[in-house]
Amino acid sequence: MRVAVLAALLATAAAPVPQQQSLGATNYAVDAPMRAPSGRPSFVDEFAQPTIDARRWRFDTSRNEAGWFNNEKQYYAHPGRRENARVERGALVIEARRETLDKAKVPDWGGQAYTSAKLISRQALGYGFYEVRAQLPCGRGAWPAIWLLPEGGTWPDQGEIDLMEMVGWDPNVIHATLHSGAFNHRLGTQRGAQKTVPTACTAFHRYQLDWTPQAITIGVDGRAYMRVGNDQPGGHAAWPFERPFQLILNLAIGGDWGGQKGVDDAAFPQAMRVDYVRYWKR
């Protein structure tokens, strides 16, 4: 359900619970163990340094003046704006605030009433195991996400992997979703599952992705809750997940999904905290 770039870009778990394999199938729930590999990750940020590592992350500010997709309401900060993105007590903090900016000082401000941040890995990552330990914000209107997109091409044809999404009006319910040309929310055919994590907003949890040529499995805290197999029901339109994608961490405000029940201004500021990002390449 995460489509923030429509025009601009655009060890595997056990077998899934049997289900209908059709363009209309949206529930790909499983209950199976997930375990992170042993050994040193290929890409890692423990956020032990005092500032955000510019060698690992870039800030996406490309749609600030024009406005972001999905009718989202935030302005995304540039590097150095600590109000929205910083390292604090060994964790990355992405903070959304209710505030207006001065266009004379911030030329790309598009009139938004909220500020936040969106970080993208400079390195494109691919097949492998991902683990992001994070604590989520639960204010109504908040829309935190950990997701992956390829660089270039059009959405949804090139694919999108939503490792974790949550909307503040439905707190503690996390979503895992895949989008492609044949399977996407515009058609109502997106493939995914959801899970309730009762302490998602008050504690850190390990959000996990196991991506292989045969399947994409997503889970939390060592337990898979979604798995989609590469059964090729429609070629590239069904399975474009064959090249490296970039990892994205962001906190959107409002939008078609996140803002379905409005935005509670009194709940801000809201923050997503990320303890670490780890990726083991296959």
State the catalytic residues. 160, 165
Question: Amino acid letter at 250?
Answer: N
Q: Kindly report the CA angle at 224 between 206 and 161, in degrees rounded to 5? A: 75
Strands (E), 124-168: 128-135, 142-149, 160-165
C-beta separation of 94 from 117 below 8 A? yes
Q: What letter does residue 225 receive in the DSSP assignment?
A: E
Per-residue CA distances from 152 to 9, 71, 183, 190 (Å): 5, 22, 19, 21
Distances from the Cα of 68 to the Cαs of 4, 8, 20, 44, 118, in angstroms?
7, 10, 35, 29, 12
Sequence-ordered alpha helix ranges (H) in 17-165: none
The H or E element that residue 87 is part of is strand 85-88
Nearest Cα residue to 17 out of 196, 165, 189, 224: 224
User: What separation in angstroms does the CA of 89 have from each of 92, 202, 213, 254?
Assistant: 9, 16, 37, 28
